[in-house]
Amino acid sequence: MLTQAPKGTKDILPGEVYKWQYIEKIISEVCNTFGYKEIRLPVFEHTELFQRGVGDTTDIVQKEMYTFLDKGGRSISLRPEGTAGVVRSYIENGMASLPQPVKLYYNITAYRYEKMAKGRYREFHQFGVEAFGSTGPSIDVEIISILSTVFNKLGTNEIKLNINSIGCPKCRGEYNEKLKEYLNPKLHHLCELCMTRYNRNPLRIIDCKEEKCKEHTKDVPALVDNLCGECAEHFEGLKAGLQNLGIAYNVDKNIVRGLDYYTKTVFEFVSENVGTQGTVCGGGRYDGLVEACGGVATPGIGFAMGLERLLLEMESRGIHIPEPKGIDLFIANIGEKAFKFAQKLVYELRNKGIAAENDVVGRSLKAQMKYADKMGADYVIVLGDDEILNGKAMLKNMKKGDQKEVSLESISQIFNK
Ligand code: HAM
């Protein structure tokens, strides 16, 4: 136990971190060009926020949250997702008084006590975006186009977009009655949890992961075919906007999403490479959430993408992520005088932004050369008493194998970038 990470967590080792840094860099560049600003939030929130925000009939809240009492007796939960925290921050920090829409993005870890599977962890990473204060479908299109831009830049544009609309409380209320009528004769076939959901939130039943529930809900009437006039118009606007940008989509009437806050637009980007659930990214509109969490009624929309799943997709498609460069210069030394000189020179070079290293373990010259090679050093200089005395040394190009004499004073100019 002591030397094993908890189930569902994964170390990201130094040899892999560059992949994460690469996608995080692209994500922040794209968000900046779209005018979205980064927000950083606490890892834990009051449990009530998720009960209210994500919804207390969802699998996430009912089965998957890491919840505990802190030493002050407060019920705290590790965030199972980012949206509720962003909404809390939007309200708490008075962002309603900022020019709208308020456009935010985040890169977070999230926590769900889920069954382990390919692409499914208990601690995972989400890149998410939220936009507040715009009701029309054009912001829905903008949000989706952030993802298609990220996918274009990463070379993962084969990930498919599925969209749907789950209406507003008005059309959903009418639909819920139809759904209950349909499910009534099948009720005794559903799982225990879904039997309780029947009266409280029947739409959740469609999203249940239990096989028997899936079987009995596969032909339910679709919400998108039962929208009110305003929601239907919104959905048409979304489709027209996507067509205008040339973003291909498929209408998937079965998307209801696993969180309670959605209204109107819902969408998922899917790929068969990322595990059984296939969802790389999911999102949608949540026009009632800010108000439900205690703020003034404000429309909102966003998405979150699982970065582990994005990396799985990139790996399955053989997309190469450029590896970071090794060190520029390794200064090998023989003897005390040379060591002191190397130590100081390396410090000066590093201050100028040059990736330099010297021996800090007391290795033999042969071992130092071996180390420099392993570290992928571009150049190596060997310093001994003679070199220090004469102020000159041989600079070896490790890739080409050739070398030339250089003055020790000139080294920092040679490597100046
Ligand atoms: P979600 O669909 O629950 O939505 O999660 C979004 C993405 O997070 C998923 O598509 C998946 O890539 C990743 N993900 C979820 N659970 C796991 C897991 N156990 N292991 C690995 N990856 C996982 C949300 O979280 C909403 N907050 C999205 C949103 C933002 N909607 C509006 N704004």
Ligand 1 close to Cβ of residue 55 (< 6 A): no
pLDDT for the residue 280? 97
305 CA distance to ligand 1 centroid (A)? 6
81 CA distance to ligand 1 centroid (A)? 7
CA–CA dist 144, 247 (Å, integer): 9
Domains of the chain listed by start with CATH number: 14-168+228-316 (3.30.930.10), 329-415 (3.40.50.800)
> Do residues 34 and 141 lie in contact, with contact meaning Cβ atoms separated by under 8 Å?
no
155 CA distance to ligand 1 centroid (A)? 21
Pocket test for ligand 1, best of 61, 81, 125 (most atoms within 8 A of CB): 81
In what order do the strands lie in the sheet containing 67-69?
A: 44-46, 75-78, 67-69
Ligand 1 close to Cβ of residue 282 (< 6 A): yes
Ligand 1 atom with the smallest distance to the CA of 60 is: 3
37-53 pLDDT per residue, tens: 999 999 999 999 999 99
**Smallest CA separation from ligand 1 atom 22, residue:** 306
Is it the case that residue 417 has pLDDT exceeding 70?
A: no
Ligand 1 close to Cβ of residue 126 (< 6 A): yes
Is it the case that residue 394 has pLDDT exceeding 90?
A: yes
- One-letter amino acid at 329 equals L
144-179 pLDDT per residue, tens: 999 999 999 999 989 999 999 999 999 988 999 999
Cβ atoms < 10 Å from Cβ of 199 = 9
260-282 pLDDT per residue, tens: 899 999 999 999 988 877 899 99
pLDDT for the residue 375? 93
Ligand 1 close to Cβ of residue 306 (< 6 A): yes
128 CA distance to ligand 1 centroid (A)? 9
CA–CA dist 104, 142 (Å, integer): 13
Ligand 1 close to Cβ of residue 103 (< 6 A): no
Looking only at the bridges linking them, the beta strands covering 160-165 and 123-132 are unpaired
